[in-house]
């Protein structure tokens, strides 16, 4: 799709040592050395990966989970971590490191989602390493011009095809009537179509009025899978001083407020920057503080991680995703215990002429842009099949 849209990728900067911060201090390490300080995370996630690979196809694709899988949906990921920490003889640090690494990908604490969901997430991304790594992982490439270039170029493409893209028209209601769909926006704009794709995140589906009402199971599914929590901030600098110190900036911290930091410099090298993530409970706690307090706390931590030069930033931006009315969190909706096994079967089912897309409905790369794109293709196929079928009648 990137090529089709005429976009280009560039490689995420990842040269140099990684950084690990714990209550005992800051460690700089070569991520490719044998004695990786985060080896316990690999041990636990490799164990979970075997279980993820063995999820039943009927469960994973259709939501018809086996008895044992339903049991796995009744426990939180945190519970599994604790049980297996003991079995593998891993200390408290292993559990904390694993929690932080997985929170960096899900933006939720391990005590907030079911273990079955975690296994599905692992399966969807072909493994924990792929889901978080830079080299050979999902973070390896970035899009020139930023990820929003996809939407900008898609808009141009569909407009060339004679379609209209409307901004600032939040959908208020969707009615299935006489084999068509009537969508009404909060501004009163009405659009009638043969089919509609509802691609808002699951947690926002209840903000739209459906007629006839959505089945109880879909309503419950949407209400029981809230978004994770994240505050993302970027600090711009005159020089990439961390690179000069032999650091990639790739950081995982077990000390609040930050969970992760990455190099966020663009491909031109003109705008050195660090991108910082406050995730899960840290995002919730720091969202109650003023922007100045948050900024100061993050800068203090950056100085601990990379040196006093971190205080000399030339610009700063931040986005609190939890406060955004049209996402209410980040990165995606995460099911709690019992949700996948009781309501998962309805995840990809259409409602009359309304089809459901969004990264949460993907079977590959749940929670990522890749998953959102896959779900779009699935809905397009569903609609084409329905149209083809009805034209034969």
**Minimum separation from the CB atom of position 379 to ligand FAD (A):** 11
**Minimum separation from the CB atom of position 393 to ligand FAD (A):** 32
Query: Which residue, 19 or 171, is less far from ligand FAD as judged by CB?
Result: 171
**Minimum separation from the CB atom of position 256 to ligand FAD (A):** 18
Cα distance between residue 378 and residue 373, in whole Å: 9
**Minimum separation from the CB atom of position 174 to ligand FAD (A):** 10
Query: Which residue, 208 or 305, is less far from ligand FAD as judged by CB?
Result: 208
**What is the binding site for ligand FAD (CB under 6 A)?**
138, 170-171, 199-201, 204, 207-208, 230, 232, 321, 326-327, 330-332, 358-359, 367-370, 372
**Minimum separation from the CB atom of position 366 to ligand FAD (A):** 9
Cα distance between residue 339 and residue 50, in whole Å: 22
Query: Which residue, 52 or 373, is less far from ligand FAD as judged by CB?
Result: 373
**Minimum separation from the CB atom of position 210 to ligand FAD (A):** 12
Task: Decide if 366 contacts 125 (C-beta within 8 A).
Answer: yes
Query: Which residue, 335 or 367, is less far from ligand FAD as judged by CB?
Result: 367
């Amino acid at each position: 799709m990137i090529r089709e849209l005429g976009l280009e990728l560039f490689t995420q900067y990842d040269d140099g040592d990684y950084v690990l911060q714990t209550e005992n201090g800051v460690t700089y390490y070569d991520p490719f050395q044998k004695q990786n300080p985060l080896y316990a995370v690999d041990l636990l996630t490799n164990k979970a990966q075997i279980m993820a690979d063995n999820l039943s196809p009927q469960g994973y694709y259709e939501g018809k989970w086996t008895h044992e899988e339903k049991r796995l949906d009744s426990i939180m990921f945190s519970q599994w971590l604790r049980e297996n920490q003991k079995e593998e003889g891993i200390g408290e640090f292993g559990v904390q490191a694993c929690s932080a690494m997985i929170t960096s990908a899900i933006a939720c604490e391990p005590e907030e989602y079911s273990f079955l969901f975690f296994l599905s997430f692992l399966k969807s991304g072909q493994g924990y390493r792929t889901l978080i790594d830079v080299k050979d992982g999902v973070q390896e490439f970035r899009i020139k011009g930023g990820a929003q270039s996809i939407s900008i170029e898609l808009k141009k493409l569909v407009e060339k095809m004679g379609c209209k893209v409307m901004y600032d028209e939040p959908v208020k209601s969707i009615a299935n009537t006489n084999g068509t769909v009537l969508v009404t926006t909060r501004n009163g704009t009405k659009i009638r179509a043969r089919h509609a794709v509802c691609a808002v995140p699951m947690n926002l589906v209840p903000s739209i009025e459906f007629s006839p009402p959505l089945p109880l199971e879909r309503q419950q599914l949407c209400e029981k899978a809230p978004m994770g929590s994240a505050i993302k901030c970027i600090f711009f600098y005159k020089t990439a001083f961390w690179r000069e110190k032999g650091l990639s900036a790739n950081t995982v911290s077990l000390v609040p407020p930050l969970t992760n930091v990455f190099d966020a410099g663009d491909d031109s090298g003109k705008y050195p920057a660090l991108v910082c993530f406050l995730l899960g409970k840290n995002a919730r706690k720091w969202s109650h503080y003023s922007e100045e307090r948050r900024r100061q706390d993050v800068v203090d931590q950056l100085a601990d991680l990379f040196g006093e030069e971190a205080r000399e930033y030339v610009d700063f931006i931040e986005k609190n995703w939890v406060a955004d009315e049209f996402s209410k969190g980040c990165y995606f909706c995460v099911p709690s215990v019992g949700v996948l096994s009781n309501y998962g079967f309805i995840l990809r089912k259409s409602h009359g002429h309304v089809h459901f897309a969004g990264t949460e409905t993907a079977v590959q790369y749940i929670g990522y842009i890749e998953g959102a794109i896959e779900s779009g293709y699935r809905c397009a196929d569903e609609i084409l099949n329905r149209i083809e079928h009805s034209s034969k009648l």
